[in-house]
Amino acid sequence: MTVMSAHLVRLNDALLVRGGTQIFSDLSLTVEGGQRLAIIGPNGVGKTSLSMVLSGRLRLSKGEIELLGHDVRRTDIRTLRPKIGYFSDELAPRLGPEMTALQAVALGRYSGLRSEWFSLTPADLLEADRLLQLVELSDARDRTLESLSSGQRQRVLLARAFCGTPQLTVLDEPTSHLDLVARELMIVALERILGEHHRDGALIMVAHHLEDLPSSITHVLVLAQERHWFGPIDEVLTAQTLTEAYQHPIEVHSLAGRRIATAKTHPA
Ligand SMILES: Nc1ncnc2c1ncn2[C@@H]1O[C@H](COP(=O)(O)OP(=O)(O)OP(=O)(O)O)[C@@H](O)[C@H]1O
């Protein structure tokens, strides 16, 4: 395993082609411990594909990528995956409906599915219990995943993505399909985990709506069809950038430390 820079993520001149189509090119970014990066952009622009690259689930077609200080091209990615937390709502059906909330969270440490259950240690269960507390689901620890509401299940999967204290956690649209209240509970739970469990770790989060971003986001990558913008949130998340990225007039407002973007549909 080759150890490179101190960045937890370093992407340089990255190119990704899927199914013969170029998804993104010339993409460079870095993420350090404690930084919280949001990835936003129009539908189909490659956010999920990028989150898979950044969590070691998809290989770049060209360019350099380091994860947790290791050059991915020279590393057995299976050795890195357990150190990178990952959330995608596509995970839920793969976990098995009979699995309990506690098992689902504890197995996150091994990025494992059903079969690893018997290797769980008391320390794993203790950490899983603590994470369930942080997402306010202690009462549901022994309930099966199928018996939970989708909002509760998403919070279980959120807790799972941080079990084993990974250095990097990648969340792909953790608030998708949630109603207004479930979404707020999810964001509050995420803020709590970031503040109390993942202070030194890095976060990468894909989102569609600015109001889904926790107030602790420090950096933003806006992906668009022809170009991208990466940098500190105040520099990147502007009406001008979003208007260019979405090719549509967009306004950005701040409310209680979070931002809201609205697409203008009528001329002023
Ligand atoms: N397995 C695949 N094989 C080939 N092409 C794919 C595959 N998965 C996605 N794509 C294509 O890659 C492009 C980017 O998809 P991706 O899901 O990464 O975008 P996204 O920005 O996350 O989209 P959305 O905002 O709709 O979730 C799309 O054109 C999609 O059709």
pTM of the predicted structure, to 2 decimals: 0.93
Q: Which atom of ligand 1 is nearest to the CA of 50?
A: 18
Give pLDDT, residue 256.
Answer: 82
Give pLDDT, residue 109.
Answer: 84
Q: Which atom of ligand 1 is nearest to the CA of 208?
A: 25
Burial bucket for residue 185 (CB in 10 Å: 0-12, 13-18, 19+): buried
Element (H, E) at 219: strand 219-223
CA dist 194 and 200 (Å) reads 9
pLDDT tens per residue, range 75-88? 988 888 888 999 99
Atom 23 (ligand 1) nearest CA: 44
Residues with C-beta less than 6 Å from any ligand 1 atom: 18-19, 23, 43-49
Give pLDDT, residue 28.
Answer: 97
Nearest to 185 by CA among 137, 144, 131, 145: 137
Task: Fill in the DSSP letter of residue 82.
Answer: G
- CA–centroid distance, residue 99 to ligand 1 (Å): 30
Walk me through the domains of the chain, giving residue ranges and CATH numbers.
31-49+78-238 (3.40.50.300)
Residues of the chain with confidence (pLDDT) below 70: 1-6, 112-118, 266-268
- CA–centroid distance, residue 190 to ligand 1 (Å): 25
- CA–centroid distance, residue 113 to ligand 1 (Å): 25
Give pLDDT, residue 97.
Answer: 82
Q: Which atom of ligand 1 is nearest to the CA of 223?
A: 21
Give pLDDT, residue 49.
Answer: 97
- CA–centroid distance, residue 192 to ligand 1 (Å): 31
Q: Cα angle vertex 7, ends 159, 188, to 5°?
A: 25
- CA–centroid distance, residue 166 to ligand 1 (Å): 26
Q: Which residue has the tokens 């998708």?
A: 176
The residues, ordered by sequence, that sit 6+ positions from 20 with a Cβ below 8 Å of its Cβ are: none
